[in-house]
Every structure is written in structure tokens, then in C-alpha cells.
Structure 1
């Protein structure tokens, strides 16, 4: 096995300065997300979603971002899943985006709330038919004896919902309201550019540079 301590990459493609960042962090995030999409990076909307269990233990998994609306970031999941249960108990969350091709990272901390039922309905109806059936078939995060259990449930719900598939009551969206956002741009010699946004207490945001 290669000595992983010897794996290094020097970053040098771009710089980041607080004066060049937009006033609102979500607007700055949208700019960077557009850059990632334009650069055709793999899975530009993939984000690491970190939650806290009722026992105070962190847990993380990769989820796809599905919307940036009203200065909130929106994703969808099974409310009975592990992350759904965590967020139902403790509504604090952290999101991490990493676009290595652009040498960029965004870290977001905030609170979540469920989106309106109409919003979840509209997004659910836009999903492919098999994905909608799958939302009924999978009791996400629950132990199963084998894959055939899920396949049998899928066949049952596909037969039940031949055309219109209603949204399961246990499935819907979470909207993340940021309370802290940090933008990271890789730089040579590990002297990375880091810009932190924090609320200014007057409805706006303040920006500051962090040491790398």
C-alpha cells in the first residue's frame, strides 16, 4: 500500500478575496455552484450532510442538493431515515461541498425545517416514475434480510400505482437556513484562501478572512 502521508497536491488555479465575494453567502454559493456546473465536474450538487444523533454523535452521508430558494438550500429524503430522525430530534445540520477540479470547498452550518407539503408534492411529481415507486418501496435505513425484500415491495407498489404515484407522507424536503458559511479556495504551499460569512446582527452578513 502506498504511504498515504506522501500524497500531496499543490493548488494554484485561482484566488479568493473577501472584497471579491458577493454580499450574501447564498448568492456567492450560487455563483460557485454555477461555476461547478459549467465546468462539468462530476456530481456538482453532491454534498456531505452531517447530522447529530439523539446521543450527541455526529453522522455523515452524501446527498444531492435539489434547490436554492429564498436563501435556503433544499434537499429531499425519507423522514424516517437515519438523517431524517436525527433532524427531527436536533434541527442542526452541516453541509460540505467539495469541487476538487476547481480546488474549492464550501462549508455550511445552519438549521433545518421541513418544506411545505405543496413544495414536496411538486418536486416528487417531477421525479422519474421508478424513483417515485422506490420512495414507497424502501424503508430507508431499516435492516432487511435481503435485497429481494425491497424488490418485492417495489413490485407491489408498482402494481398499486400504475400511473400516478402519490408522495408518501414520510417523504419530503428539508430547507437549510445557513447561520455560518465558509468558502475555501486552494492555494500553493497550503496557504489557502478562506472567507467566512457570519450574521452581522442587523439582518445582513459580515465577511472575514481566516488563516489557512
Structure 2
């Protein structure tokens, strides 16, 4: 098939969303309870990486960036993920203090989007999560010069080998000083359920002066 034939298929690529519906009466009392319920449903459905979310940030110059990260904490305070504090995403978050994240659960014809301010989590919270990471992931966090241009894969392998030797006799690997968590403190949380004929259900929790309220949006 020629490249032109592939391009011509794009306008006709379409899925009819008929997995369910979403009514105001279906929602949990709080945004985080609703998000947890949908995360649980995605896991039970056997979706790959159900806690994967597309994190969108912007730098001080207004240039946007997006990438997939894994959600590792959820409660009434917000949604938490962990990363290198010297990474491109962390530079963006430090500059603007704002982020958006979307969970794309394609298999359930659902998505959830969170938008709000960000804060670094406490060192205690970071340490608690760090202790649950596999040793290999811990060593990788020490070795990776995240978002920095490297000369090749060999540079990364050498860095990892050096870190492995450094901590070879250590029973536990300490948390790197440049690594930790970010918490998105939501102001808007939207739950999207695909429906037939593109008449989707969109319900969102919106934070105002009097607390949270639920709104329905046009599809």
C-alpha cells in the first residue's frame, strides 16, 4: 500500500462508541472518588497501563509539550506522579506551576482529564513511594540524565554500570536529590464517555468559591 493510500484512509477511520453512558446520577460525591472508580474499572477490564496519562505542560515561553507518565498517587489533595526534577517537564512546571493530564482509556471509550496548579510532594511522600520501586528502576533514576542530549545508547549503559558499582554494597538505594513527585491540584476534572453518533457524555467537576460543582458540557 502506498503512503498516499494510507493518508486517504484517515478520513474514514471511525469507531462507533457504544460501551455505555454517563449521567449526573452516576457520578461519585467527589472527583477523586470518581477517578478512582474509573481507574479501577480500567484495571478490571485488563487495559494496558490503566494509570498511564498524557501530561501536558508549557514552558515560560508558552511552548507546549506532552508525554505519557504514570499516576502514582490519588486522594482529595490531587493526582501525583514522580520524575526527575531536572527534566524538561519539571522545568515547565517550575516556570508556570500549571499542568493538565488525560487518561485515555480507549478500550472503554472513556477518558478523564485533570487541569490545575502543581506542587512538589513532600520528601516523606517521595521516600515512601521510592521504597516501593524495583531496585533496577531506582538505579535507573540515578543514571538517567533525563531530557539531556547524549551521544548514544552506550553513554546510558555506561552511566548505569557506574551507578550499579556505586551502590553494589548498599542494601538500599537512596532517593536522588534531583528526583521526586509532583502533585496536580485540580480546578477542573472532566469525565468523558463516548456515545453513538458523536453525542458523547461530558461531565466535569469545577472548583469555585463555594466548592465543587458538576457541569455538563456539549460533546
TM-score by length of 1: 0.96
2:214 equivalent in structure 1: 207
2:159 equivalent in structure 1: 153
2:183 equivalent in structure 1: 175
CA contact (8 A) 1:23 1:205 kept: no
**1:69 Cα offset (Å):** 2.8
**Is structure 2 residue 123 aligned with structure 1 residue 117?**
yes
Task: Please say which of residues 55-64 and 120-129 is displaced more in the overlay.
Answer: 120-129
Q: For the residues of structure 2 that align with 1:131 and 1:195, how far apart are their CA atoms?
A: 37
2:200 equivalent in structure 1: 192
Quick one: which of 103, 106, 129 aligns to 1:97? 103
Question: After superposition, where does 1:4-83 map in structure 2 within 5 Å?
Answer: 4-83=10-89
Q: Which runs of 5 or more residues in structure 2 are unaligned?
A: none
**1:149 Cα offset (Å):** 0.9
Give structure 1 regions of 4+ aligned residues with deviation exceeding 2 angstroms. none
Question: After superposition, where does 1:130-169 map in structure 2 within 5 Å?
Answer: 130-162=136-168, 163=170, 164-169=172-177
Q: Which runs of 5 or more residues in structure 1 are unaligned?
A: none
Deviations 1:67-114 (A, max 9, x none): 113331110000000001111111100000111111101111011111
**1:19 Cα offset (Å):** 2.3
**1:22 Cα offset (Å):** 1.5
CA contact (8 A) 1:179 1:198 kept: yes
Q: For the residues of structure 2 that align with 1:158 and 1:134, how far apart are their CA atoms?
A: 9
How many residues align? The count is: 211
Q: For the residues of structure 2 that align with 1:108 and 1:60, how far apart are their CA atoms?
A: 14
